[in-house]
Amino acid sequence: MITPLKKLFTVAALALLSASGATAQNYPNGTVTVVVPYSPGSAVDPVGRFIATELQELWGSTVVVDNKPGAGSTIGTAYVAGAPADGSVLLVTSAAFATAPAIYKELPYDPQALLPVAFASQASFVLTGGANVKANTMAELIEEAKERKLFLATAGLGSSTHFAGELITAAAGIEAEPVHYKGGTESLVDLMAGRADIYVGTTVGIGSNIAAGQVKGFAVLGDRRADSIPDVPTTAELGIEGANVAFWLGVFAPKGLPDDIAQKINADVTKILSSEKAKEFLRKTDSVHLPMSPAEFKEMVDSEVALWKKLADERGIEAQ
């Protein structure tokens, strides 16, 4: 016999299930804000805007971009971490999401409060040399590092260029003292002027300088040569192990987002980034899209968080 109280609970449960299904089917049912935790014109901003524009067209619903830069992307990230977990606020951020927990003892958010939803794109890192570097190959650079002290320019303490630089120098057995700048532009200026020796940047950020002969390209991190600098070998080709990382961008949402909505966002982002229009757009930034499920993307992010924490411990990297 079903008591009135049990009947009430049953009806409520069915209503909840129905509402959950309707939410996924009707998503989005209002404006969606895509937060980019960097300034307009940054490397992340164009991709965030492309995704927002294409999702708006696909969904037939308003999708706006809100730039919230500051504190190495942590301000915008913290904002999304505290937003409602209903898909109304999304985050498009970079690999700095994985390096931040390794460098900051206290973050203004819990990294576990954000759910990796969709992988967007990745560009390769490349180890470069400046005007004062005599070496022209990776083997020669390793020998030069044994003869004199090298200075490793970075786009900032704890930045992805800093961690990638620490990773490749450690893997290649190169000793280099990090010198932290306010950004990649400042690093590149001093690299070309000979005030810094080596720098690890993205191929989209420094590939044209290598192609123009303004800086030397020694190794692309990973196992795929970059289209913009096809003559630069990969670390895999050079036999340097443990340096297969890339500069990636992805879509995150507040933890607690219903799985069906997460799957829908993932499917739609994957659809638009797999189009010929997106491929051409990404090709201009020397980037590629790799389809991943939310679970696969989360596994990748968790793996990188562990990698960078381990590297930070081994190299004594911490916020000053």
pLDDT of 298: 97
pLDDT at 182: 84
Answer yes or no: is pLDDT of 293 > 70: yes
Q: Which residues pair with 150 in a beta bridge?
A: 176
Q: What is the pLDDT confidence band of residue 257, given thresholds at 50, 70 and 90?
A: very high
CA atoms within 13 A on the CB side of 19: 7
Model pLDDT for residues 175-232, shown as the tens digit of each residue: 999 999 988 889 999 999 999 999 999 998 899 999 999 999 999 999 999 988 999 9
128 closest CA partner among 233, 45, 23, 198: 198
Residues of the chain with CATH 3.40.190.10: 124-238
pLDDT tens digits along 95-128 = 999 999 998 888 999 999 999 999 999 999 999 9
Q: Give residue-wise pLDDT tens across range 1-23.
A: 444 444 444 444 444 444 444 47
- Give tens-digit pLDDT for 235-253: 999 999 999 999 999 999 9
Q: CATH second-level architecture of 124-238?
A: 3-Layer(aba) Sandwich (3.40)
Say whether 48 sits in a helix, a strand or coil: helix
pTM for the model stands at 0.86
Q: In the chain, which residues fall in CATH 3.40.190.150?
A: 32-122+248-315
* CA angle (148, 149, 154) in 5-degree steps: 140
Of the pLDDT bands very low, low, confident and very high (cuts 50, 70, 90), residue 318 is confident
On the CB side of 166, CA atoms within 13 Å amount to: 25
CA 34 to chain centre: 16
Q: What is the pLDDT of residue 320?
A: 61
Which of 160, 198, 207 has its CA nearest to residue 179?
Answer: 198
The pLDDT value given to residue 13: 43
- Asked whether the predicted pLDDT for residue 44 surpasses 80, the reply is yes
Q: What is the pLDDT of residue 11?
A: 42
3-state secondary structure (DSSP) of residue 320: coil
Does the pLDDT value for residue 311 go beyond 80? yes
Structure confidence by residue, pLDDT tens digits, 147-188? 999 999 998 888 899 999 999 999 999 999 999 998 888 999
CA 42, chain centre distance (Å) = 12
| Tokens (6 digits) for 31 | 């404006």
Buried b (16+ CB within 10 A) or exposed e, 256-274: ebbeebbebbbebbbebbe
Both tokens assigned to 75 = 């301000």
Closest to 178 measured CA to CA, from 309, 319, 317:
317
| Positive or negative torsion for Cα 226, 138, 215, 125 | positive
Average pLDDT, the chain: 91
Q: What is the pLDDT of residue 299?
A: 97
For residues 150 and 157, give the distance between their C-alpha atoms in angstroms, rounded to a whole number.
Answer: 17
List the Cα angle 77/83/89 in 5-degree steps.
80
Q: How many residues belong to the chain?
A: 320
State mean pLDDT over 75-102.
96
Report domain 32-122+248-315's class: alpha beta
